C-alpha cells in the first residue's frame, strides 16, 4: 500500500494558483512549492501508546497570500491504522484561498482483478468521456492492461449525523482491504482515480477526499469549491487510514459503510455532471 497525500490548488495547468503539496512514501517526506520552517518533531506518548510525527511548512511570498500548514501523523503502537491531522492557517494580514485534496494510492497486491470499492454514494458521475464508458463499473477493478486510459469518477457521499463517512477498498477475496474515514463537512468532495495500466507502468487507484474536485482552479473557484480564510483564520481536518488484514475486519467495515448507505438509492449519472467538471 502506498500513500500520497496532496494538498493543492488542484490546477494541473500552468495557471495554477498557490500550491501546498506533500508526498509521503516508504522512506521519506518531500515538500514541494513551500519551505519547512523547522525540522519534523516526533512525540512518543507512553500512556496512550502513540507516536506522532509533526511538521510545519509555509508558503509565503512578498505581496502574496501567506499560508502555514501543520501536519501531524499519528500511529498507534500495535495497530495497522494511522491518522493525518492537518491544519492550515492564514498567517497573513489579508484574506487567502486554499484547496486540499488527499491523493491516497493503493496498488498491488491488494489491488487486482476483482477488487471492489464500497462507498456510501448519494451521487456519482464520470469525469470525462473515458470514464463515461465505464461508469456502470465504477466500483469494480479489472486486471492490469497495458496502455489503458485513466478513469476518474466524482462523488457526493453520504455521512452520519456528525458528518463522518468512510469508504472501503477490498481485494477480490475480501480477505484484506483499506478504509478511509473523514469528515464531509471539511472534505465534502470525493474522487476515485483508476490507473489500470500494466503493473510495470503503475497499476494503481487513488481515493481522494477533498475540498474540491481535481479540476483547474479557475473552474473550481467559479463553482465555489475554494476555501476562503480570513486573516488569522484556520482550517483543519483529520483523515484516518486503516489497513484491514482479515476477512472479519473487511466485513465489519463493509457493514458500517452499508449502514451509511441505508435505504438511499445511489444516483449514477450516465455522463459528466454540469458544474462538477468542465466536460459536463
- The burial of 14, by beta-carbon neighbours within 10 Å (0-12 exposed, 13-18 middle, 19 or more buried), is given as exposed
Look up cell 468542465; give the residue: 278
Which domain, by its residues, includes 146? 6-268
Q: What is the pLDDT of residue 34?
A: 59
- Evaluate whether 54 touches 72 at the Cβ level (below 8 Å): yes
In a domain, 134, yes or no: yes
- The burial of 78, by beta-carbon neighbours within 10 Å (0-12 exposed, 13-18 middle, 19 or more buried), is given as exposed
> Which residues face 30 on adjacent strands?
23
What digits encode the pLDDT tens for the residues 178-217? 999 999 999 999 999 999 999 999 999 999 999 999 999 9
With a threshold of 0.85, does the pTM exceed it?
A: yes
- Report the SS3 class of residue 199: helix
What digits encode the pLDDT tens for the residues 67-94? 999 999 999 999 999 999 999 999 999 9
In a domain, 174, yes or no: yes
Distance (Å, whole) CA 185 – CA 173: 33
What digits encode the pLDDT tens for the residues 214-259? 999 999 999 999 999 999 999 999 999 999 999 999 999 999 999 9
In a domain, 275, yes or no: no
In a domain, 277, yes or no: no
Phi/psi of residue 52, each to 5°? -125, 130
In a domain, 280, yes or no: no
pLDDT (average), residues 126-139: 97
Q: Nearest CA to 59 among 30, 28, 96, 24?
A: 96
In a domain, 195, yes or no: yes
In a domain, 279, yes or no: no
| Confidence check: pLDDT of 5 > 50 | no
How many structural domains compose the chain?
Answer: 1
SS3 content of the chain, % helix, strand, coil (to 5): 10, 40, 45
Instruction: Extract the C-alpha cell encoding 139.
Output: 466500483
**CA-CA-CA-CA torsion for 12, 14, 17, 19, nearest 10 degrees?**
60
In a domain, 278, yes or no: no
- Evaluate whether 226 touches 217 at the Cβ level (below 8 Å): yes
Q: What is the CATH number of the domain that holds 214?
A: 2.70.98.10
Amino acid at each position: 500500500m502506498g500513500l500520497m497525500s496532496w494538498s493543492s490548488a488542484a490546477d494541473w495547468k500552468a495557471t495554477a494558483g498557490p500550491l501546498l503539496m506533500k508526498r509521503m512514501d516508504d522512506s521519506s517526506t518531500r515538500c514541494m512549492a513551500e519551505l519547512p520552517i523547522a525540522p519534523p518533531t516526533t512525540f512518543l506518548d507512553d500512556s496512550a501508546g502513540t507516536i506522532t510525527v509533526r511538521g510545519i511548512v509555509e508558503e509565503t511570498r512578498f505581496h502574496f497570500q501567506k499560508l502555514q500548514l501543520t501536519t501531524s501523523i499519528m500511529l498507534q503502537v500495535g495497530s495497522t491504522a494511522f491518522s493525518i491531522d492537518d491544519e492550515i492557517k492564514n498567517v497573513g494580514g489579508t484574506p487567502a484561498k486554499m484547496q486540499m485534496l488527499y491523493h491516497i494510492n493503493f496498488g498491488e497486491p491488494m489491488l487486482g482483478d476483482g477488487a471492489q470499492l464500497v462507498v456510501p454514494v448519494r451521487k456519482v458521475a464520470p469525469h470525462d468521456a473515458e470514464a463515461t464508458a465505464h461508469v456502470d463499473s465504477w466500483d469494480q477493478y479489472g486486471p492490469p492492461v497495458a496502455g489503458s486510459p485513466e478513469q476518474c469518477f466524482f462523488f457526493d457521499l453520504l455521512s452520519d449525523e456528525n458528518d463522518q463517512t468512510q469508504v472501503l477498498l477490498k481485494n477480490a477475496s475480501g480477505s484484506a482491504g483499506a478504509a478511509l474515514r473523514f469528515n464531509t463537512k471539511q472534505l465534502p468532495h470525493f474522487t476515485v482515480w483508476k490507473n489500470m495500466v500494466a503493473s510495470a507502468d503503475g497499476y494503481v487507484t487513488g481515493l481522494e477526499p477533498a475540498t474540491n474536485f481535481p479540476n483547474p482552479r479557475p473552474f473550481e473557484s467559479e463553482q465555489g469549491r475554494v476555501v476562503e480564510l480570513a486573516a488569522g483564520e484556520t482550517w483543519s481536518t483529520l483523515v484516518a487510514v486503516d489497513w484491514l488484514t482479515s476477512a472479519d475486519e473487511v466485513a465489519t467495515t463493509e457493514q458500517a459503510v452499508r449502514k451509511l448507505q441505508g435505504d438511499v438509492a445511489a444516483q449514477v449519472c450516465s455522463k459528466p455532471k454540469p458544474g462538477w467538471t468542465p466536460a459536463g
